[in-house]
Amino acid sequence: MKFQWSLLFALIFAIIVAIFAVVNVDSVPVNYVFGTAEWPLILVILGSALLGAIVSGSVAIFRSFVLQRKVKQLEKDNTVKESVIATQQNEISALNKNGQVEPPDTHELKKAVESGNSGDIRSTS
């Protein structure tokens, strides 16, 4: 729906520029760095509109490519981190099954968090 509104806005803008250009058909002097030339105002208006569309389109395409590259890199990083998390979870579950590591008591965990103790939270008794 957003694309349709953008297309409609672009079409209305193009019609307004075309009407404005057709109304202004007189010749005007165009000053270049190396000289002056007489051009019909309709060509100057349409040429300026076309050049503006090309420049803004080029900038939009460049930004799109940069963002696509960034998204691909972030997706790659996310995949790597998800695999590391999965590996660590598998290791933890394997250690828990073998009885090598006891899961911490939630009551002791709350006490440690409240007291600000960042050390070992397992009781020694």
In a domain, 106, yes or no: yes
Predicted TM-score (pTM) of this structure: 0.55
In a domain, 66, yes or no: yes
Burial 80-103 (b: 16+ CB within 10 A, else e): eeeeeeeeeeeeeeeeeeeeeeee
In a domain, 121, yes or no: no
In a domain, 96, yes or no: yes
Range of the domain at 49: 2-115
Place of tokens 């190396």: 34
Which residue, among 12, 15, 41, has the nearest Cα to 28 in the 3D structure?
Answer: 41
Structural domain total, the chain: 1
Give pLDDT tens digits for 45-59: 888 889 998 999 999
In a domain, 7, yes or no: yes
Confidence (pLDDT) at 123: 47
Give pLDDT tens digits for 22-39: 888 889 998 888 899 999
In a domain, 124, yes or no: no
